[in-house]
Structure formats: C-alpha cells, structure tokens
C-alpha cells in the first residue's frame, strides 16, 4: 500500500513540474496584457482630457467673439498670436425691449443701455509651470484663471493660438493647436466667427 | 499559498492520526483530492483573472476617429460664419466652399493625413453644411444647420 503511494507521488511531481511552467507562462501573458491595458487606459484618458480642453478653450473664445464689439490683437491689427482682448455686449441690445419699456418697468434697466464686458484670452508659460497654457481674465495684466492644463489625468500644452481679423467681413478666424504631454498627440482646431455687433472703429 | 499547503497538511495529519508521519500525510493528500482541489482553485483563479483582463480590454479599443469629429464641427461652423457674413452684407450666399484651405487638412492621432470635404445646401433661409472625411476607408460626417437671413440692401 505504502509502495503504491510513493509511486503515485512521483507522478504528482512530474505533473507539477509540467504544470508549474505552464502556470508561470499563463500568468506572464496575463501580466503583459494587464500592463498594456493600463497604458492604453492612461493614454485614452489623457487624449480625452486633450480633446475636452481644446473644445472648452475654443468654445470660450468663440462665445465671447460672437457678441464682440471690439477686438484687440497682440501683433498687428488684423493678425495676432497668443493673446486677444474682446470687448463684448454682455446684454443683448434688442429693440424688442424698448417696446416693452412702458408696459413692464423691470425691463427698463436692460433695455436702455449697452452693457459691455472685457475678456482677455492669453497663452503663456507661468513661472512654476513647464508648459504653455491658456488663461483668461477680465482685467489686463492679471492672468490668474487657467482654462487649460494642470489636469490630474493628463497635462496639456498650447502649441499655438492664432487670430485673423477681417474688419470688412466682421469675421474672426481662430486657429488653435494643443498637445497632450502624456501621449504627445496633437489636436488642431480652426474656425471662424461672424461678429454681427462688431464696430471697426 | 504556503499557508494553504500547511492547512491541508495539518488537516491531513489530523485525519490520518493513525499514521502520525506528517510527510506521509502530506504526500497522501497531494496524491489524492487535496491536489485536485488545489488545481481547481488555481484554474478558477486564473480563468477569472483572464476574463477580467480581457473584458477590460474590450472596452478600450482605440478609436481612429478620435477628435476628428470635433475638428469637422468647427470647420462646418467656419463655413456657416462666412455665409452669415455674406448675408449680413446683403450678398446671397452660394454653395461654394468658403473655408480656408489649410483648415480642410489635418492629421489624426496616428499621424495619418485627413482631408475634409464640405458640402453646402441652401433651401430658402435654411443652410445645411455637411463635413465628411474618411479614415482607413471608414467614412464619417458631421452635419450642422443654421437659419441665415439675408439683410436687405440699405439703398432699397
């Protein structure tokens, strides 16, 4: 009886000697797949951040430009890079409100004047930052509100931000390129905004 | 894992109290159901691990169209903005491409060059702009609509 069990023990040893390397191989393969999945997930998250930040930055600029009254570019009058100052109509100056003035006095404040706001978009490298980001501020010389960059899931940098202003057509052409620091993927967005309320003088 | 071995070994030793040889008890258990049970545990663990990893991978398939849709959307808006500008100057917009040539070309994340095609359709005051492109034979498009009124001429 004992002799038989010792024989079986040898079989178990051989079985174990075959199974163990197989097990190691399988675990190694699974480990490799896991690492790749992790990298892919990290890259995709960084790309997502890049796309959403580019979209947000562009949307902010186009929204302000659409209602612009005055545009000031860094550079020449018609071509600028990196910085734009937009003076825009904060309240719609619609003639419909005037007709309502007598009927409902609460509209009076909003109908009788043209409320203007100033918004500056500027790209630069902050002292403690390695990359160029887009910032916005309502007053000149204090750039404290970041629009892009410093996202925990993937940092981004602004490669270039160009503006072309056509005063006759009342068209502002915006060209934006951003890059993900994590994946080094680039996204280029270009568009034009028609500014019905723009005054060339 | 050694803890499991120890537990099995000592349990085996207790069961086989007549033969107090621990090594003999261990060998007996490894020979028989203990080892089989261990195999089942291992296989289950590996199979569940593999299933978890592969299911995770399935949702992370890279999308070659990434961000192109956004670029195309802004190209369509550029075309509409140019048409609005014409209409505001009392010029009737046509279906020609008004987008800058440089804006019609871009690259996707893998560096593949992409070219956008702009199609404009004007029905009354409703303007429809469709921007289409293709990546590796896979076609996609974005359609944007806007109502554009042509401003009356000042002298009329």
| Domain boundaries defined on chain B | 2-58, 68-147
Residue B125 sits at the chain A interface (C-beta within 8 Å): no
Count contacts between A and B (CB, < 8 Å).
98
B60–A183 C-beta distance less than 8 A: no
Looking at chain B, which residue has its C-alpha nearest residue A167? B85
What is the average pLDDT across B6-10? 57
Q: Does the beta-carbon distance from A47 to B31 stay under 8 Å?
A: no
* Dihedral sign (CA B101, B68, B77, A198): negative
Letter string b/e over residues A26-45, b meaning 16 or more CB atoms within 10 A of that residue's CB: eeeebeeeeeebeeeeebbb
- CA-nearest residue of chain B to A5? B28
Q: Which of B39, B85, B102 sits opposite A194 (nearest CB)?
A: B85
Domain ranges for chain A: 43-194
Side-chain-side CA neighbours of residue A135 (13 Å): 19
Place of tokens 């293709």: B134
Distance from CA of A162 to the nearest CA of B (A): 13
Rounded CA gap, B153 and B88, in Å? 9
Residue of A2, A5, A191 best to disrupt the B interface, most CBs of B under 10 A: A191
- Inform me whether the C-beta atom of residue A116 falls under 8 Å from chain B C-beta atoms: no
Residue A142: per-residue pLDDT:
66
Say what the pLDDT of residue A5 is: 53
Model pLDDT, residue A98: 46
Give the tens place of pLDDT for each residue, B25-83. 566 656 665 566 777 788 888 888 888 888 777 766 656 666 899 999 999 999 999 99
pLDDT by residue (tens digit) across B86-144? 999 999 998 899 999 999 999 888 888 999 999 999 999 899 999 999 988 889 999 99
Chain A residues within an 8 Å CB radius of B54:
33
Any residues with CB less than 8 A from the CB of B75 and at least 6 apart, and which? A190, A191, B99, B103, B104, B116, B118, B131
CB-based contact, A55 to chain B, within 8 Å: yes
Window 156-195 of A: residues touching B by CB (8 A cutoff) are: 169-171, 173, 175, 183, 185-194
> What residue of A is the nearest CA neighbor of B151?
A196
Q: Say if CB B50 and CB B117 are below 8 A apart.
A: no
Print pLDDT tens along chain A (201 aa).
455 555 555 667 777 788 888 889 988 988 998 898 888 889 889 999 999 999 999 999 999 999 899 999 988 888 999 999 999 887 755 555 444 445 544 444 444 457 788 999 999 998 888 999 999 988 766 667 899 998 999 999 999 999 999 999 999 999 999 999 999 999 999 999 999 889 877
Candidates A84, A85, A90; CA nearest to A116 is A90
Q: Which two tokens stand for residue B149?
A: 């009124």
Tokens of B74: 């802004």
CB contacts of A79 in chain B (<8 Å) are none
């Amino acid at each position: 009886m004992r002799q038989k069990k010792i024989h079986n023990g040898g079989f178990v040893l051989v079985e174990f000697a075959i199974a163990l390397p197989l097990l190691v191989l399988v675990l190694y393969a699974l480990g490799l797949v896991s690492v790749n999945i992790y990298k892919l997930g990290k890259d995709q998250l960084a790309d997502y951040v890049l796309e959403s930040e580019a979209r947000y930055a562009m949307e902010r600029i186009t929204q302000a430009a659409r209602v612009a009254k005055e545009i000031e570019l860094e550079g020449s009058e018609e071509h600028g890079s990196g910085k734009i100052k937009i003076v825009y109509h904060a309240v719609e100056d619609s003639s419909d409100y005037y007709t309502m003035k007598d009927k409902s006095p609460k509209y009076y404040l909003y109908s009788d004047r043209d409320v203007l706001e100033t918004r500056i978009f500027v790209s630069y490298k902050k002292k403690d930052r390695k990359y160029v980001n887009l910032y916005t501020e309502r007053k000149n010389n204090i750039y404290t509100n970041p629009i892009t960059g410093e996202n925990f899931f993937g940092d981004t940098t602004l490669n270039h931000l160009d503006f072309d202003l056509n005063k006759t057509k009342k068209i502002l052409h915006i060209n934006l390129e951003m890059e993900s620091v994590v994946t080094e993927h680039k996204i280029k967005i270009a568009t034009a905004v028609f500014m019905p309320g723009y005054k060339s003088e | 894992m050694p803890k499991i071995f120890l537990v099995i070994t000592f349990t085996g030793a207790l069961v086989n109290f007549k033969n107090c040889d621990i090594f003999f008890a261990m060998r007996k258990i490894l020979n028989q159901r203990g080892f089989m049970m261990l195999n089942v545990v291992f296989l289950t663990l590996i199979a569940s691990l593999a299933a978890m990893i592969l299911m995770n991978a399935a949702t992370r398939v890279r999308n070659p169209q990434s961000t192109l849709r956004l670029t195309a959307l802004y190209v369509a808006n550029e075309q509409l903005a140019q048409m609005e500008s014409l209409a505001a100057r009392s010029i009737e917009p046509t279906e020609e491409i008004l987008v800058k040539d440089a804006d019609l070309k871009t690259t996707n994340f893998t560096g593949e060059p992409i070219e956008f095609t702009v199609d404009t359709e004007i029905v009354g005051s409703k303007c429809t702009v469709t921007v289409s492109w293709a990546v590796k034979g896979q076609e996609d498009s974005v359609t944007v609509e806007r109502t554009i009124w042509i401003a009356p001429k000042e002298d009329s």
